[in-house]
Amino acid sequence: MNRSKFRVQRMNAMVLASDIGTYDVESKVHPGNGEFLMNVAIGTPPNQFSAIMDTGSDLVWTQCKPCEECFDQSTPIFDPSQSSTYSKMSCSNDLCQALPSSTCQDGCQYMYTYGDYSSTQGILATETFTFGGSDKVSVPNIGFGCGADNEGNGFNQGAGLIGLGRGPLSLVSQLGEPKFSYCLTSIDGSKTSTLLMGSLANANSTLSSSNSKANNVMTTPLLHNPSHPSFYYLNLEGISVGSTRLPIKKDLFALSEDGSVGMIIDSGTTITYLEESAFDQVKKAFTSQMNLPLDDSGSAGLDLCFKMAKDTKSMDVPKFVFHFKEADLDLPSENYMIGDSDMGILCLAMGKSSGMSIFGNVQQQNMMVVHDLAKDTLSFVPTQCDAL
């Protein structure tokens, strides 16, 4: 929760192609501690590792030997000297030029920071990445950060990060595939699902999946923000709690010219953050509709919590609907309420933001999320993700 809070604060404070052909990619995705990770292999011969899947950033990177400052990871740290396909990137390369911060010293040296104040620093290089699935696919010459100085308390779940944003450094842009999809299992579970790119995302879209409710496909436009071209912006028009549509101004989440307002969808942020005045209305509505006393101990680190009996197995809660343009997303309760029977507490898995709003990964559980960049749309399809 702390990482997510720092992330949304930093995103509010921020005011940022390689031609390698096209490929169909499939990767297993599994839940971590507040994030989701995808499986990938790097180098020749390939070295397996998992990395945080992040639609809110662009850079693809992993830890590399020799490390100056590296966190502990469960798989061996990548040694570029042992790969026949590793190559440092020149400073004149377009991807080096796309970095928000770089220097030219023995190749393209990068420094990349995230919204929670974590960072990676090292050299930009190219390498062969191998993705799993029924048929393994190896993609040469992917630009990535070979990180020798990496700091962040959430990184040690894996061995790096795969940026899936809209910028030229991201895996999406480098693969040149205009469509990708992912399906996130329960964040507190242990089962896996998949990320798909290219024609696989089309062929396996949940329109034809037996685990999905094809008649419940909800599609909304993706918006562009010149101030933050890497983010996937959504047009949120309103919110309902219970049977009441809240009196939120329709333009409250509209993009501003300076990019300081609007809503993005982000797989790397745990909970949803709403603009402060909108969250205050949500909080007021929930408080009035819940038949439980407030818990103001702050023990859960969330803005709105209720006390409940420790032996409670289930609880009726008001329904929650996000009214996106052309798509009303009625969330299942597990996608917005977090309970801990041992603590005797039930909390709304959302927080407030002073500006930018973020649709987080808790709200995306058991949804097939399809990004179609050719049509500039994003689709939600209720899906049992662990059955894919």
* Residue numbers annotated as active site: 54, 266
Q: To the nearest 10°, report the CA torsion of 169, 54, 80, 101.
A: 50
Q: Which two tokens stand for residue 220?
A: 């909304």
Q: How far apart are the first and last CA of the chain?
A: 28
Q: To the nearest 10°, report the CA torsion of 59, 88, 120, 45.
A: 80
Q: Which two tokens stand for residue 208?
A: 């034809």
CA-CA distance, 91 to 70, in Å (whole number)?
Answer: 25
Sort residue 296 into left (φ over 0), alpha (ψ -120 to 50) or beta. alpha
- Provide φ and ψ at 223, rounded to 5°: -105, 150
Q: Which two tokens stand for residue 61?
A: 């990177």
CA 358 to chain centre: 10
In three-state form (DSSP H/G/I as H, E/B as E, the rest C), the secondary structure along 319-360 is: CEEEEECCEEEEECHHHCEEEECCCCEEEECEEEECCCEEEC
CA-CA distance, 240 to 282, in Å (whole number)?
Answer: 8
CA-CA distance, 90 to 276, in Å (whole number)?
Answer: 44
CA-CA distance, 266 to 4, in Å (whole number)?
Answer: 11
